Chain A
Amino acid sequence: MKSILLQKQWNWLLSGLMLGISFLLAVVLVKPIGVSTQYPILDGIIWEQVQPGLVTENAENKSGYGSSNAYLNENGGKYAAAIAKPLNYGLVFVLAMILGGFVARVMQRRGQPELYTPSIVSAELNSMRLKRLQRVFVGGFLALLGARLAGGCTSGHMMSGMMQTSLSGFLFAAAAFAAAIPMALHLYGREE
C-alpha cells in the first residue's frame, strides 16, 4: 500500500482501476465529475471584482441569481449563482484536485529512476522556452473555448459521459481524438 502511494507512476492497470473508481464513486456519492465549467466561473469571480454588479439577485431565475451576461444567466442563472457564492461543490472539487496533484507529487519517493527516456520531444515539452509557452497558451485557449462550446471537457464529456453511455460523450470523444492525434503528429512528429 505504502509503495503504491509513494511510487512515481502507477502501471496502466492500476491507473485504469483508480480512474474508474474515482469516476464511479463521484456518480454514486454526488454527481458525474466535470471540470471545465469552473473556468468561466473563475473568470466571472474575477470579472465581478473588476465590475461589481455583473451578477445580481434575480428572483425570476431558478437559482435566485442572474447576470447581464447571457452565458452566466443561462440555465436559471446557475453560473451566476456559483459566482455569487464561490464556496460551492464545483469550485471546491477543482481546488481539491490541485491539492491532490500537489500531494501526489510531494509524496513521490526520492531517488526513483526517471520513467522517461529523455528525448527531443520530452525535453521540449518539459522546457519553459518560448515555443513551448506559445503552444501551451494557445492550447489552453483552444481547449477551453472548445470545452465551453461542447458543454464539457475530457472529464465531463469523455469519461463521465461515456461511462453513462451518453451519445454526446461518444461524439465528443471521437471529435477530440480526431483533432488531437493529427495535431500531435503534426507538431511533434512520429520520431523521438
Chain B
Amino acid sequence: MEYSMIPEIGHFALILALGVSIIQGALPLIGAQQGRREWLVLARPATQISFVLLAISFAILAWCFYVNDFSVLYVAEHSNSQLPTVYRLGAVWGGHEGSLLLWIFLLTGWAFAVAQLSKTLDEFMVARVLGVLGLVATGLLLFVLATSNPFERLLPAAQDGRSLNPLLQDPGLVFHPPMLYMGYVGFSVAFAFAIASLLSGKLDAAWARWSRPWTTTAWIFLTLGIALGSWWAYYELGWGGWWFWDPVENASFMPWLIGTALLHSLAVTEKRGGFKNWTVLLAIIAFSMSLLGTFLVRSGVLTSVHAFATDPRRGIFILILLSLVVGSSLFLYALRAPKSTLGGAFSLMSRETLMLLGNVFLVVAAGSVLLGTLYPLLIDALNLGKISVGPPYFNAVFVPIMVPALFLLAIGPWANWKSTNLNALLKRLWLAAVVAVVAAILIPRMMGEFTILTALGFLLSFWIIASGVLQIIRQFKAGKPTRSFIGMQLGHIGIAVFVIGVTMVGAYQEEKDVRMAPGDIVSVGGYQIRLLEVRPAQGPNYQATRGTFELGRHGKAEEVLYPEKRNYDSSTMPMTEAAINAGLTRDIYISLGEPLEGNAWAVRVYYKPFVDWIWGGCLLMALGGLFAVLDKRYRLRLKK
C-alpha cells in the first residue's frame, strides 16, 4: 500500500523549525548581551523562517485532514470520511497535538508580525524581543516533538477515522480555539517586551508605548475567544447556561483579567512613566497565566469538560517548561526591577490612583479565581480530603470584588492626571448617579421582581453608561474625539451592557419543563409555543428526531423552530440541538427531550431576556480595543 510522504514533510518542517528557533532564541540574546551585531541581526530572518516552517507544517496537517489521510494517527483519532469538510478542518485543532501545533503556529505568527512592524525599534530591543519569543517557541517545539507529534503515523492506516466528538461538530469550534489562542499567545509579545526591557536594564516609558498596541490586540482576540466559547456553550449544550466556572474557562478568564489590568497599567506607564515595575510584573503574569492554562488543560491535574486526553509525561514536560519560563522571568524581575526609576509624582486623589485601585480589584479577582480553581488540588495534595469548588463559590466571591471596580469605572475617566479635586468630580457625576438610582428602582419593578442584587446590577451598569454618555457629550464640545477616547468609551459601555445582560437573564429568565403532544401549547415570557409535529430526520453523519414548533404572540405566528435530538454514527450519547429564536431583547430557547407515552415528548422551553447583551457587551469591548489600537499614535509607526 502506498503511503503519502507529505506528513513526513510536515514533521521535518517542525524539526527544522526547532533548529531555527534555537538560533532565534539563543544568538540574538547573547549577541545583545555581548554587543555582537552579527548575532543581533539574525533575529528577524530567523523569525521569518520559523514562521514559514510552521505555516508549512500546519498547512500539511490541515491537508491530511482534508484528504482523509488515516495513516496519520491524529487524523484517524479525530476525523472521519463522513465528517463534513468544514468540521474536518476544525478537527485539526480538535485534539491535543493539533491544538498545540496551532499554538506554536500562532506564536511564530505573532513573532513574525513583531519582526515586520518593528523597523523603527532599536535593534537591541528587537533582538531581545524576538529572542525571547524564540526561546518560548523552542520550549514548545521540544514538547511537541518529544511527546505530542501530530504527524505520528498509524501503519497500517485505519479504514476510517474515529471521528470528532459530536459536541465539537459546530461552527463555534471552528473559530473559538483559534481566536482564544490568538489572545493567549498574543500576550507572549507583551511578555517578550517586558523581559527585553528587564534584560536591557532600560525600563522606561518608551517600552510601554511599544507594548501597548500588541497587548491591546491580543486582548481583543482573547475577549472574542472567551465570548465565542461562552456563546457556543449556550446554544450547543442544550440547557442554556453560558458560564460554568469550569477550570479551563477560568484558565482563559484569568489572563483576561490580568490583561485588562495590564492594558490600564500600560496606559499609565506610557503617559506618566509610573508603575513600571508593576506593569512589567503584570506582563509576566499575564503570559504565565496563559502557560498555566495550557498546563491545566493538558496535564490531567483538574477535572474539566475541556481536558484533553492526558499522559503523565506531558504533564511533567509542560510543568518543567512552565517552571523554566516563568521562574526565570520572575527571577530576572527580582534582580532588575529594583533598579528602575519612578515616574512622575501624583497625589492620592488622581487618575493614577484610581487606575491603580482598579488594577488591585482586577488582580485580586484573578487571584480569587486562581485560588478557587486550584484549591481542590491544594487540599488533595496536603491529604486534607477531597472537595469541589464550583459556581456557587465563584459567584459568591467574584461579584463582591467586581462591584467596587465597576463603581470606579465610571469615575476614573473624569479624574485628572496627577491630581484631581474630589468635589469637582462628584459634581460632574451627580446626573449619572440620579440616572443610575432611577434605573435601579424602576427596571426591576417593570420586569416584575425587585431584589437587591438585580437593583445593584442596574445601578452599576447605568452608572457606567450615564457617565460614559456625559463624557462623550463633554468631549464633543471640546472637539473631535480621538480613536483612543472612543475605544475607552466602547470598552467601558461594553462592560455595562454585559452586566445588564447578566442581570436580566439571571433574574428574569423563565424555564418550563413540559409534556407536549402535537397540538399542545406552552406559554413562556409572553409567547406561545405550539408543537406541530415530531418526525425523523437525517444528517450527513447522524440520525435525528426533529420537532417542529411554532412560536407566536397574541395569536400571530412569528417563526417556526426545529430543535433536534441527534444520534451521531460515531457516538452513543444522544446530542441535543436546541432551537433558538434570538432577538435584541430576548431569546426563546427550545430543547427537545425524551419521548413519552401517548405520542408526547418532554420539552424544555426558556425565555431568556437580554441574554444576547452578554456577548453583545463583549463585542463592544473588543470593538473598543480595535479603536484604541487604530489610534493615530500607532498608525504613524505602522507606516514605517
| Chains A and B are bound partners | no
Q: Which residues of A contact B (CB under 8 A)?
A: none
